[in-house]
Amino acid sequence: MIPPHVLENVSVARRFGLPCVALLAVSLLAIGCNGTPAQSTGSGGRGGRGGRGGGGAPQPVVTAKVSQKNVPVDIAAVGNVEAYTTVSVRSQVTGQLQRAFFQDGDVVKKGDRLFTIDPRPLEAALKQAEATLLRDQALLNQAEAQVARDEANADYQQLAAERQAQLVTRGLVSKDAGDQSRAAADATLATIKADKAAFESAKAQLAVQQSVIDNAKVLLSYTDIRATIDGRTGSNTVRPGNLVTANSTELVTISQLQPVYVTFAVPAVHLPTVKNHAGADQLMVMATTPEVGGQPIEGRLTFVDNAVDQTTDTIKLKATFPNHDLRLWPGQFTRVSLRLTTLMNATVIPSQAVQTGQNGQFVFVVTPDATVEQRPITVAQRMGEVVVVGKGVAAGETIVTEGQLRLEQGTRVQNSDGAGAAGVGASGGRRGRGGRGDRGRGSDGRGGTGRRGAQ
């Protein structure tokens, strides 16, 4: 390869009309004698590759302090929002739907009027039952009067029979006349028993008819359909003017949205911890909706299923959320975080500081003399971007979080802004064409002499 300074000499020869071939031969001969091209004096440039750290130059790294804080232990899951209560509104009587008193999706309170069904057939049935009740009441009064009349007649017949018996004893009347009087008294007593039975029958019939009236009133009240819970209505499936059938036609559904349930599943290995907190100390559950910038919603674990799903080895759980702002909607999927416990005063470091080697996990600890120490650690818990360390480091120590690939035991380091630049080489940057040097590369360990310039 022809060195660059030879090509520059050739271009000068062409400019002044000199023989280029002769000049090129002389230049190549000079290279062959000296072994290196003539070099101009320059102050620095791109150096050749040196050792790690550029012959002891500190490596730029990003560091962080080991700290202690309370770390919550959470389990992430995907939950499904369920209404606290859902009521399917159906008509309990058959009739024509006359009017709806709400719009689709309205919020209703318990007792609010929802629909009206044509009440005229049931009103007529109620009037008929009331008329029948009056008839039965009259029959009861008649039976009562009959009993009273027959009782009075029985008393007379009894006295007459006693008098006839005395006269028979004295021989004033025949014995046959006395027997007839006694038979008439006994017949009257039997008539009284029959009258009393008729009276009880009329009384029972009156009670039956009263129940018919009560039932007619209940059926008539069913023509006025009201909400049984507080909640939000769905779509009205039957419009006024249509015929509805008792207990079969669904008119609308009402869902109670305050509070709501969120159902999710967690691995069964966490069941003992969940059971220990299933009493008064309920576990906290945080739900995050898919909306942008939405804040987590806090709820409490209120239900643990009575069996583990053998196909997935998970346990079904249910949390209750007040849902005051109605951010949770039935059927919605949401991210759920179940807080099992909180590690108090735990030693924590950033997760990117942990490295894995042949002997396990370790971190680079920055010593007071600005060198690093490769120290093994024990990871107790991983919580997102934070790692809880069981042993290996202490609070207040400085560890390396970025730039570990350039480090080994005892490497000198310097803290940087995390941009990855190593600064400028030892001899500076550009000094002109004759002594041009590129930026040094301290991060790669490059330094020393440049390709152009003095060595």
Spans of all domains in the chain:
4-57+421-444, 60-68+345-415, 76-84+259-343, 119-222
Tokens found for residue 233: 């209505």
Average pLDDT on 275-290 reads 80
Q: In this predicted structure, what is the pLDDT of residue 72?
A: 83
Q: What is the CATH number of domain 60-68+345-415?
A: 2.40.420.20
Q: In this predicted structure, what is the pLDDT of residue 384?
A: 75
Backbone angles phi, psi at 350, to 5 degrees: -65, 145
Considering the chain, what percentage of its residues have pLDDT values greater than 70?
78
Q: In this predicted structure, what is the pLDDT of residue 14?
A: 53
Average pLDDT on 131-145 reads 89
More confident residue, 207 or 46: 207
Q: In this predicted structure, what is the pLDDT of residue 218?
A: 93
pLDDT value at 187 more than 60:
yes
Whether the CB-CB separation of 300 and 284 falls below 8 Å is answered with yes
More confident residue, 106 or 278: 106
Structure confidence at residue 97 as a pLDDT band (50, 70, 90): very high
Please give the C-alpha separations between residue 5 and each of 13, 39, 392, 455, in angstroms, as whole numbers: 13, 9, 58, 16
Average pLDDT on 160-177 reads 77
Task: With CA atoms as reference, report the closest residue to 335 among 296, 266, 383, 287.
Answer: 287
Average pLDDT on 308-331 reads 92
- Centre a 10 Å sphere on the Cβ of residue 244 and count the other Cβ atoms it contains: 22
Task: With CA atoms as reference, report the closest residue to 296 among 273, 325, 330, 258.
Answer: 325
Average pLDDT on 37-56 reads 40
Q: In this predicted structure, what is the pLDDT of residue 9?
A: 53
Average pLDDT on 413-437 reads 44
In angstroms, rounded to a whole number, what is the distance separating the alpha carbons of residues 249 and 89? 9
Structure confidence at residue 113 as a pLDDT band (50, 70, 90): very high
Instruction: Give pLDDT tens digits for 29-40.
Output: 444 444 444 443
Structure confidence at residue 130 as a pLDDT band (50, 70, 90): very high
Q: In this predicted structure, what is the pLDDT of residue 144?
A: 86
pLDDT value at 382 more than 80:
yes
Amino acid at 17: G
Q: In this predicted structure, what is the pLDDT of residue 7?
A: 53
pLDDT value at 199 more than 90:
no
pLDDT value at 135 more than 70:
yes
Structure confidence at residue 417 as a pLDDT band (50, 70, 90): low
The CATH superfamily label for domain 76-84+259-343 reads Efflux pump adaptor protein, beta barrel domain (2.40.30.170)
Q: In this predicted structure, what is the pLDDT of residue 354?
A: 92
Average pLDDT on 253-273 reads 91
Structure confidence at residue 19 as a pLDDT band (50, 70, 90): low
Structure confidence at residue 159 as a pLDDT band (50, 70, 90): confident
Structure confidence at residue 166 as a pLDDT band (50, 70, 90): confident
Cα dihedral across residues 62, 68, 73, 77: positive or negative: negative
Structure confidence at residue 78 as a pLDDT band (50, 70, 90): very high
More confident residue, 263 or 417: 263
Structure confidence at residue 278 as a pLDDT band (50, 70, 90): low
Q: In this predicted structure, what is the pLDDT of residue 181?
A: 79
Q: In this predicted structure, what is the pLDDT of residue 30?
A: 46
Q: Which range is least confidently modeled, 13-27, 146-160, 234-248, 398-412?
A: 13-27
Task: With CA atoms as reference, report the closest residue to 274 among 242, 244, 306, 228.
Answer: 306
pLDDT value at 50 more than 50:
no
Task: With CA atoms as reference, report the closest residue to 111 among 221, 224, 227.
Answer: 227
Please give the C-alpha separations between residue 423 and each of 77, 92, 289, 385, 446, in angstroms, as whole numbers: 46, 84, 45, 29, 12
Average pLDDT on 353-376 reads 91
Structure confidence at residue 452 as a pLDDT band (50, 70, 90): very low
Q: Which range is least confidently modeled, 81-90, 178-187, 367-376, 392-401?
A: 178-187
Question: Which DSSP string do the residues of 329-345 spell out, in sequence order?
Answer: -TT-EEEEEEEEEEEEE
Average pLDDT on 176-192 reads 80
Q: In this predicted structure, what is the pLDDT of residue 74?
A: 82
What pTM did the predictor assign?
0.57
Mean pLDDT taken over the chain: 79
Q: In this predicted structure, what is the pLDDT of residue 333?
A: 92
Q: In this predicted structure, what is the pLDDT of residue 2?
A: 53
Q: In this predicted structure, what is the pLDDT of residue 170?
A: 78
Q: In this predicted structure, what is the pLDDT of residue 47?
A: 37
Average pLDDT on 198-206 reads 88
Backbone angles phi, psi at 323, to 5 degrees: 55, 50
- For the chain, give the longest Cα–Cα distance: 194
